[in-house]
Amino acid sequence: MKQVAWEGVYPALLTPFTENDTIDYPLFQKNLDAQLAAGVDGIIICGSLGEASTLTREEKAEFLTYCVKAVAGKVPVIINVAEQITKVAIEMAQEAEQLGADGIMLLPPLKYKADDEEVVTYFQAVATGTNLPILIYNNPVDYGIKVSIAMFEQLLPYPNIQAVKESTRDLANITNMINRFGDRFKILGGVDTISLEALLLGSHGLVAGLVDAFPAETVAIYRLVKAKRYDEALAIYRWFMPLLELDIHPKLVQYIKLAATAVGIGSEYVRAPRLVVKGEERERVLKVINDALANRPILPDYLNLEVEVA
């Protein structure tokens, strides 16, 4: 089984498109280079921010193949698996394994409101079908299904189910998971606007969104917290908050792409049915971005901090 630490910052990377609606690999590489230079600990591709629902299976395979080659083992490459049919989810996980992925982020089936037993059975089937480490995505706010403590109990016998992207928005869930399971399941905070709080409560890292535009600031917050330099982390976080709120809007893809464009590592192009934002909405989001850029903090030498990991 491949090894993934599930600690640190894992960007949920954008999928940049050209004006002709193809994947813009040179621009993706520019963003990837910025992420790696900033010190991220892994990458997640083809997730919600990566517009997975609009990518074909062939595009996902091509994208994964590109990322595995481009990253060249520097950090783990995780690909999202979000399918409606158990058999297809298993096939996607197996294909990802064959193409060199280091792990998968696994969502419950989305179009059918599965009950607890169905969700657990689905997770167990995928885990049995692949040797890849698995990050369970727990997001009842957006996807309508909560993976409860009792459900995680039933996943304990599956060693490759190793971590959770904690997006319940209930901070108590972090403590409840740690109290029940210790470090059996690594916890990655999945909501930008409570990311500092998640780290302070014991999360092992973050699956972040605005990191797509501001990788250094995101990694700095994580490493400052782990180095117990809380005041410095809090100062950056307070500056960051208006930007982080772009992550919890239905148009988070368009908004974060605007931010990445503003800092020169992205473009505004999205894939239909999404449309680029325009008019008053675009100006409002740009004001948030430009106000933040006008007051961008000077970061400490966060890459050379001694950090405590679990």
Instruction: Examine residue 309 and state whether it is found in any structural domain, yes or no.
Output: no
When pLDDT is averaged across residues 303-307 and rounded to a whole number, the result is 85
Q: Is the pLDDT of residue 310 over 80?
A: no
List pLDDT tens digits, range 236-250. 999 999 999 999 999
Give the global pTM.
0.96
Mean pLDDT of all residues in 281-308: 94
pLDDT at 217: 98
**Residue 138 belongs to domain with CATH number:** 3.20.20.70
Q: Which of 310, 61, 108 is nearest to 204 (CA)?
A: 310
Q: What is the count of structural domains for the chain?
A: 1
112 pLDDT band (50/70/90 cuts)?
confident
- In this predicted model, what pLDDT tens digit does every residue of 186-227 receive, in sequence order? 999 999 999 999 999 999 999 999 999 999 999 999 999 999
Band of the pLDDT at 308, cuts 50, 70, 90? low
Distance (Å, whole) CA 103 – CA 115: 26
Tell whether 62 is covered by a domain.
Answer: yes
Out of 10, 60, 122, 165, the active site residue is 165
Closest by Cα among 8, 155, 2, 184 to 93: 2
Give the pLDDT confidence of 5-55 residue by residue, as tens digits: 999 999 999 999 999 999 999 999 999 999 999 999 999 999 999 999 999
Q: How far is CA 29 from the centre of its chain?
A: 18
What number of other Cβ atoms are within 10 A of residue 265's Cβ? 22
Whether residue 2 is contained in a domain is answered as no
Q: For residue 61, is pLDDT > 90?
A: yes
4 pLDDT higher than 90: yes
Mean pLDDT over 109-119 rounds to 90
Model pLDDT, residue 113: 86
What per-residue confidence (pLDDT) applies to 309? 60
Single out the catalytic residue among 10, 137, 237, 269. Answer: 137
User: Tell me, what's the pLDDT at 2?
Assistant: 86
Does 214 fall in a domain? yes
Residue 118 falls inside a structural domain? yes
| Strand arrangement, sheet containing 103-106 | 8-11, 205-208, 186-189, 161-166, 134-138, 103-106, 77-81, 43-45
Neighbours of 53 (CB within 10 A): 12
Tell me: the pLDDT tens digits for 274-291?
A: 999 999 999 999 999 999
**CA separation for the pair 239, 289 (Å, rounded):** 11
pLDDT tens profile 30-43: 999 999 999 999 99
Query: Residue 18 in contact with residue 52, Cβ under 8 Å?
Result: no
Please say if 226 is a catalytic residue: no
Domain membership flag for residue 1: no
Known catalytic residue: 137?
yes
In a domain, 3, yes or no: no
Does any domain span residue 310? no
Q: Which domain holds residue 252?
A: 8-304
The model's confidence at residue 229, banded by pLDDT at 50, 70 and 90, is: very high
Mean pLDDT, range 77-98, rounded to an integer: 97
